[in-house]
């Protein structure tokens, strides 16, 4: 069933409802993997989207598919309540408000006395203060905000809020053991000494990769090679390929597709470039480069400034191709600065952003905060 905490046995349910794999899904996946390794019982509840469900099934723990459509989805709440009744103690960890509504209704239907509801807020959005949301806030045992920015923007929308909440920056899960990855320089003919630029994540407009290609077109220097890791919308990717061709960059840019784990690839990079246009709540990709000991250039439209210091990277305005090109050019020309930034980033990561630190804080919220 689960592990004994205090008195009795508890099981953690992770509730994810998004149709595609993103940062929130990776957060729930890594957290579930660590919970399982520590002996906790874990059940995953997901909306019926194959791309997400199939990844979650890799964990080898029960995965249930429910609609998870929010407040009016009584069928999902009833089905979840049946699962809760089989457990002595339950942590329901929701990753958006739709799943939080389902969790709150299920607890009420089940009449479960030892059931805590935790919500992680992965977005930078103002909280809503309609009556049904006010009701939901009262049902939550704790809200985890992934950054100070996510917390402040949410609270600016709800007015007075006295529910338990805290900021817990995401941690980076570093897989153990050796993993196969192609030697990029050899496979793609990148000469020794030519810096490798890398960008990883979803290939979609909000991640700003078209701005990166525009910036590379503005560069006077051509002594670099860019690798793009990730998958995304075919139309957007097709547009990127066409722009790469138009800019005359075809020989210096390659797409590697989705790769997991990503760290064997990041280890081969000289500079990470993350030109997101979105208001990122807690950018995991930025943390990945800190963990890998690599310098990075990132846009500063969200919580990047909470994660990336000037010693570890360069922040530029989102959507500003000229500023991005200037930052890339400066780091391409200064290997010593790149190395110093990479070392500083790794030190910062080890001090504040390890997965051990993150996991201890989340488990503390589960059973105490």
Among 166, 172, 173, 105, smallest CA distance to 136 is for 105
Query: What are the beta bridge partners of residue 45?
Result: 15, 64
> Which sequence spans correspond to the domains of the chain?
11-171+354-367, 184-353
- Judge whether 306 and 147 are in contact, CB under 8 Å: yes
pLDDT of residue 177: 64
Contact 147, 170 (CB under 8 A): no
Q: What is the distance between the alpha carbons of residues 361 and 366, in angstroms, rounded to a whole number?
A: 9
- The pLDDT value recorded for residue 368 is 82
Q: Which CATH class is domain 11-171+354-367?
A: alpha beta
| pLDDT tens digits for range 39-63 | 999 999 999 999 999 999 999 999 9
**pLDDT category of residue 260 using cuts at 50, 70 and 90:** confident
* pLDDT score for 39: 94
Residues 326-342: tens digit of each pLDDT: 999 999 999 999 999 99
Helix (H) or strand (E) segment spanning residue 90: strand 89-94
3-class secondary structure, 18: coil
Q: Strand runs (DSSP E) across 234-294, as ranges?
A: 253-257, 271-274
The H or E element spanning position 216 is helix 209-218
Give the model's confidence band at 2: pLDDT under 50 very low, under 70 low, under 90 confident, else very high: very low
- Asked if residue 178 has pLDDT above 80, the reply is no
Q: Which CATH number fits domain 184-353: 3.40.50.1980, 3.40.50.2000, 3.40.140.10, 3.90.420.10?
A: 3.40.50.2000
- Give, as one character, the DSSP assignment of residue 195: P
| 4 — pLDDT class (breaks 50, 70, 90) | very low
In the numeric block, which tokens belong to residue 248?
A: 């005359």
- The rounded Cα 34 to chain-centroid distance in angstroms is 16
Is the model's pLDDT at 114 over the cut of 50? yes
What would the DSSP string read from start to end of 290-316? HHHT--EEEE-SSTHHHH--TTTEEEE
- What is residue 369's predicted lDDT score, i.e. its pLDDT? 57
93 is written with which tokens?
């960890």
């Amino acid at each position: 069933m689960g592990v004994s905490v205090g008195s009795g046995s508890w099981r953690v349910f992770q509730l994810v409802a998004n149709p595609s794999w993103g940062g929130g899904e990776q957060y729930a996946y890594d957290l579930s993997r660590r919970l399982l390794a520590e002996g906790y019982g874990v059940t995953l509840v997901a909306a019926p989207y194959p791309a997400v469900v199939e990844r979650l099934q890799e964990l080898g723990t029960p995965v249930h598919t429910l609609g998870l459509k929010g407040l009016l989805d009584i069928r999902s709440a009833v089905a979840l309540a049946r699962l809760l009744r089989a457990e002595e103690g339950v942590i329901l960890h929701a990753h958006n408000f739709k799943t939080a509504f389902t969790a709150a209704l299920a607890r009420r239907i089940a009449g479960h006395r030892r059931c805590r509801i935790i919500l992680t807020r992965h977005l930078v959005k103002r909280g809503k203060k309609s009556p049904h949301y006010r009701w939901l806030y009262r049902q939550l045992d704790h809200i985890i905000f992934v950054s100070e920015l996510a917390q402040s923007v949410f609270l600016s929308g709800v007015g007075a809020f006295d529910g338990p909440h805290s900021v817990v920056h995401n941690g980076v899960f570093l897989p153990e053991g050796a993993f196969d990855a192609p030697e990029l320089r050899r496979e793609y003919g990148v000469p020794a000494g030519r810096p490798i630029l890398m960008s990883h994540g979803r290939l979609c407009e909000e991640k700003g990769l078209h701005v990166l290609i525009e910036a590379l077109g503005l560069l006077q220097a051509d002594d670099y090679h860019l690798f793009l890791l990730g998958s995304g919308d075919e139309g957007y990717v097709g547009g990127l390929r066409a722009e790469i061709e138009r800019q005359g960059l075809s020989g210096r840019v390659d797409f590697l597709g989705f790769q997991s784990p990503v760290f064997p690839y990041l280890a081969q990079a000289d500079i990470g470039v993350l030109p997101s246009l979105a208001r990122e709540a807690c950018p995991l990709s930025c943390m990945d480069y800190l963990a890998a000991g690599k310098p990075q250039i990132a846009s500063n439209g969200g919580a990047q400034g909470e994660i990336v210091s000037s010693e570890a990277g360069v922040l530029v305005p989102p959507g500003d191709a000229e500023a991005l090109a200037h930052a890339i050019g400066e780091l391409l020309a200064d290997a010593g600065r790149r190395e110093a930034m990479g070392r500083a980033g790794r030190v910062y990561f080890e001090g504040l952003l390890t997965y051990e630190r993150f996991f201890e804080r989340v488990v503390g919220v589960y059973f105490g905060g």
